[in-house]
Amino acid sequence: MQYMDNYRPLTLEEKKKKDRERAERDAEMRARNNRMGLAIFQGSWIMAFVCLAIVYLVMGAVPGWRPAEGHRPDALLPTIATLILLTSSWLARSGWRAVTRDDVQKFLSQWMIAIVLSGVFVVIMMTQFFAISPTETDIQYVELYRLMIAYHAIHAVIIGYMMVQVWRYGRAGHYHSDNHWSVEAGLKLQYFVTAAWLIFYAVLYLT
């Protein structure tokens, strides 16, 4: 009798419970796959920045390759820009945490401030693109310096655009505590652009 009971038809409530459990398992699996895929993508993507940093360090070891002390780019504005970018990432994280608690208004406000600060960062660094002019003796240095600044700025603009799209969907009511993967992905991309810049900042202004 007990064996037969195991195959009795499910009640409506039991079917609903099984459906909920299956949906939760599927959602957890999708979330794990999404996070793993993004991590693999970012890990391979960051290598381009690492390679450029290595090229800069190798070239910088050649005597006379870098400009004379008075002609090198000043680190003050880039340092301020770095602090602004770090603040932007912190606010983006705070916004993501807010949406996981269903505080959508806090998410919208902090996410938008993070976007604005990222824009300020890009503007400051674009001024650094023209901060030094090439001469006959340091043209290779200036070209690589500008390449690194522009390469990172392009990524920052693209990720900033993606964050704007996340904000728009958030304003339309798409996100809540059970649906916030796009916000999390946007945050991790912001982490990526911050980590990439810290690599460049270290070699451009601290070596």
Say what the pTM is: 0.85
Per-domain boundaries in the chain: 2-205
pLDDT at 16 over 70: no
Structure tokens at 127: 């001024």
d(CA 9, CA 16): 13
Task: Return the closest-CA partner of residue 122 out of 172, 85, 74, 175.
Answer: 85
The predicted-structure confidence for 83-128, as pLDDT tens digits, reads as follows 999 999 999 999 999 999 999 999 999 999 999 999 999 999 999 9
For the chain, percent of residues with pLDDT exceeding 70 = 88
Task: Return the closest-CA partner of residue 142 out of 154, 155, 153, 128.
Answer: 128
Superfamily of domain 2-205: Cytochrome c oxidase, subunit III, four-helix bundle (1.20.120.80)
In degrees to the nearest 10, what's the CA dihedral of 61, 65, 67, 72? -50
CA 122 to the chain's CA centroid? 14
More confident residue, 15 or 64: 64
pLDDT at 2 over 50: no
